[in-house]
Chain A
Amino acid sequence: MSIRVCARDNKTFRRLLEYYSDREKAARLFRKNGGKVVGELGCDVPDELIIAAGMFPYRIYAGECSHLIEADRYLEYSFDPVVRMQFEKLTDGTLNNEIDYLAISNSTDTLIRIYLYLKEIKRSEPEKPVPDLEFIDWLFTRRLIHQTRNEFTVRLFWEKLEEWSGRKITYKDFAEAASICNEDRVAIREIMKLRRAYKPRVTGSEALVIIGSAFYMDRREHAALTRQLYEDAKKWPEINGPRIFLTGSAQENTELYELIENEGAVIVGEDHDWGERFVNRDCNLGYSPVRAVVDQYMMREFSSKKAFVSQRVEALDREVEACGAEAVMFYMNAFEEAASWDMPSQRKSLAARGIKTRAFTKMSYPVSKNSALEPGLKTFIESLKG
């Protein structure tokens, strides 16, 4: 099932797929035209502000890295494999040709370490090709003092962007950028309805392409293409098969989704940051700019890393219900462990609702390295069909 012929034959989808596959294409063009590109590490870097500063946000991804020389030198064994590859590209010079600056958000503990290590490399080994960096020290505890602190943090990032771009970010700049991003999120949410429908017309793999291409292209164009695609996809064939919700490690490509969907299931939702969590909350333009950014990133659906077990149990129940999933698949990369503490309680709660679950933990990266995965998936999906 995965990415179907109807999608591949569609001109609009093909365009999104082009950006999703050739992730440097738009950023390179932007730089060629004199623009500055800000790499984002972590899913809580406010795109709106980068766009408002006239710069191009580019999400750092692991991709396929044939060597891990720098990562093996600087990082302890228990950094997860995705972060290791991202780090490699940030320190071996690969990304130096693609980005001008790097913004890291406090989205996981690992990224805090990466920030500290990169900062130390810059200080003690200045010859290393590490870009200028800024850390966005979000606090995700939901109390007023944390909200106020986050406003301070956003103001710091705002000032840094002004320094990097060499221009003031006006209210008009911000409002325009936030509106574009909101528009894009609305368009994505709209097409995701076709994925969550009683009879889905968009697969999980297709959904990942639609969402993920936003990280690598002009947002206005992305919104327009997504709106167009919505009209086309309404006519795509309906999909049958067990409806699965995916939770756990972020999937920055479609490999896992395709494996699952090729077995005849359909992924109707996920809670990771390369999927629908990205469009979970809009920037409220009724608030002042700083407050709007804080509201958006602090108050959206709980991430698996920065939430209590009880919050994660409720969030998963909520999301599973919203997309009508009949089963949940937990998929966790090795050394990306925090969500393991949520899992037993989540499974218990899901079981009480009649939702079946299957867990794949300590997984290697990339997905293809896990030889036992395919048979495991097959058995699970077959059991759902029965």
Chain B
Amino acid sequence: MNNDNKNNAEPVRAQKSLKATAVAGAYQKEWFAGLKARVEKGEDFGYLNADVPMEILRAMDIPFVVNQWWAAICAAKRMAPKYYGLLNEQGYRDDLCSYCATAFAESLDPDDKVSGPWGGLPDPTIAITRLTCDCQSKIFELFAKNHGSELYVMENTQPRRVPPNWWELAPDRWEELYDPDRLDFAVEELKALISFLEAKTGKMFDINKLIEVMNLINEQESWYKKTRDLIAETQPAPVTVVDTINAVMQAQWQRGTRWAADHAKSLYEEIKAFVDQKRSSVPNERLRLMWLGRGLWHDFAFYQNFEEKYGAVFMWSMYLAMGADAYIRNNVEADPLRALAARYIGMEDFLHMPPWNANWFLHEAKHNRIDGVVYMVPENCMQALEGSYFVKKTLEDAGIPVLIFKADPVDARKWNRETMTGLVEDFIETRIIMGGKK
């Protein structure tokens, strides 16, 4: 959809109903201020892509920010037009890799420390990414150069065997999920990363600390599992993605901390109280919708556009469900690095590789009694080539209609809420309601 953005000058703010969402929002600001203070005192500071095993830095108490989290903050602050303009000025294309390149674009802003989100990004001393696409290393190198950070990259290997139903194997039988040599290699990569970080920061990596971090993550993600199951099994849904995406994503970037585990628990308890009180997010819920793809960070209110007219509720996104199914790795103690390897090398595959993604989406759609799927394929990201044909076919063969459209999760310039709303309304009317699904 190439729509001119004419009507987005004043964004409509999404209505959020959970305390946990507000708490996470407040906490991240406080945490970021604390992080800045540490960096100002001269501590090393890491900037990581989302697929980097951040657990290692957490265990070493190296403060870090995650690229995609920061891009979402920049998008929510509507910085994209300014940043992509800067890219253009410097001879870069402004229509590529918006999600991953936001922070690089920001690094071109001479006023960042004054007018950047939350006082701008402090200069990282370390930048780490994985080579999960051809552009990643290039963007991170440019970013690192502008900030004077040391760059470190980790590789990505492809699976040869793909056992079905990864979500059943992941928590306890994770060894069976992968070719053993891939796990061996990923452990080697983790050891190399640790050596780099030890040399760079002078801090020791303590394996016992990693066990602690991994167990805290298991605790946190187990709460997400309970939360996901609770929402899936409650009709009308107690909350929508507008609440869960933010509440979960913000805490996921804090994973491995006591705060994050406790926050996940509080999220569950709050939603459970809603359920017990028979409170629902959209009392007239008639249709349950699944959102596939990254969050629409610049227009969260969009998700709520279909509630009043159709009783259509976006109640599923990958953020909570990935927490529920993709992160837990039990039996950590025997070999924590291997357990961590079994977490981080699969993340991309669970989401982007057919049939793993398609089968999981179908499983989740059934579990959540989904009536229709709205699937946003990012405009300018190679990694988002994830077999959308197979995803659509798998879901539609099972009787669940799918609407695929192109849009950008962080760049609001081409987004036209009105047009997109019309598209989804048409889908609801013709494919779900008239299609006999409801």
Q: Show the binding face of A for B, using Cβ within 8 Å.
A: 73-79, 106, 108-110, 112-113, 115-117, 120, 123-124, 135, 137, 139, 141, 143, 145-146, 149, 152, 305-310, 337-338, 340-345, 347, 361
Contacts and interface: CB of A to CB of B under 8 A. Distances in A.
B135 A337 contact: yes
A123 B353 CA distance: 13
Given A78-B381, A120-B354, A306-B134, 11 more contacts: A75-B389, A76-B384, A113-B382, A135-B160, A141-B153, A143-B192, A307-B137, A309-B142, A342-B138, A345-B142, A361-B93
A259 B385 CA distance: 33
A78 B382 CA distance: 7
Contacts of A79: 385
Contacts of B137: 307-308
Contact of B134 (A120, A305, A361): A305
B158 A341 contact: no
A90 to B, nearest CB: 15
Contacts of A308: 137-138, 141, 151
A149 B185 contact: yes
Given A79-B385, A305-B134, A145 B188 contact: yes
A353 B232 CA distance: 63
B39 to A, nearest CB: 25
A374 to B, nearest CB: 23
B134 A108 contact: yes
Interface in B30-88: none
Contacts, number: 101
A47 B138 CA distance: 29
A124 B134 contact: no
A124 B133 contact: no
Contacts of A342: 138
B387 interface: yes
Contacts of B377: 76
A239 to B, nearest CB: 32
B98 to A, nearest CB: 12
Interface residues on B, range: 35 or more
B91 A347 contact: yes
Contacts of B380: 78, 337
Interface in B146-196: 151, 153, 155, 157-158, 160, 181, 185, 188-189, 192
Contacts of A340: 92-93, 96
B162 to A, nearest CB: 8
Contacts of A137: 157-158
Contacts of B381: 78
Contacts of B141: 308-310
Given A76-B385, A109-B382, A344-B91, A116 B138 contact: no
Given A145-B185, A337-B135, A347-B91, A109 B383 contact: yes
B158 A112 contact: yes
B90 interface: yes
A227 to B, nearest CB: 37
Residue from B134, B135, B137, B353 with most neighbouring chain A CB atoms (10 Å): B134
Contacts of A361: 93
B390 interface: yes
Nearest to A79: B385
Contacts of B189: 145
B416 interface: no
Interface string B302-332: 0000000000000000000000000000000
Interface string B78-113: 000000000000111100110000000000000000
A120 B93 contact: no
B387 A116 contact: yes
B133 A109 contact: yes
B96 A124 contact: no
A137 B93 CA distance: 29
B131 A141 contact: yes
B346 interface: no
Given A139-B157, A338-B138, A343 B387 contact: no
B76 to A, nearest CB: 25
A341 B135 contact: yes
A344 B92 contact: yes
Contacts of A309: 138, 141-142
Nearest to A139: B155
A341 B355 contact: no
B406 interface: yes
B139 interface: yes
A347 B91 CA distance: 9
A337 B93 contact: yes
A309 B157 CA distance: 22
Contacts of A115: 158
B388 interface: yes
A146 B155 contact: yes
Given A109-B133, A340-B92, A74 B389 contact: yes
A7 to B, nearest CB: 36
A237 to B, nearest CB: 39
A308 B192 CA distance: 19
A143 B153 CA distance: 11
A344 B355 contact: no
Nearest to B131: A141
Interface in B254-299: none
A310 B146 CA distance: 13
A116 B155 contact: no
B385 A106 contact: no
B178 to A, nearest CB: 13
Contact of B385 (A73, A113, A120, A337): A113
Contact of B142 (A109, A149, A341): A341
19 contacts: A75-B389, A76-B377, A112-B158, A113-B385, A116-B353, A117-B354, A139-B155, A139-B157, A141-B155, A145-B185, A149-B185, A149-B188, A305-B134, A309-B138, A309-B142, A337-B135, A340-B93, A341-B97, A341-B139
A344 B92 CA distance: 6
Nearest to A335: B382
A120 B160 CA distance: 12
Contacts of A109: 133-134, 382-383
A282 to B, nearest CB: 26
Contacts of B135: 337-338, 341
A341 B138 contact: yes
A77 B185 contact: no
Contacts of B388: 76
Given A109-B134, A338-B135, A120 B92 contact: no
Interface string B373-417: 000010011111101111000000000000000100000000000
B58 to A, nearest CB: 23
Nearest to A149: B185
A344 B152 CA distance: 22
A110 B236 CA distance: 42
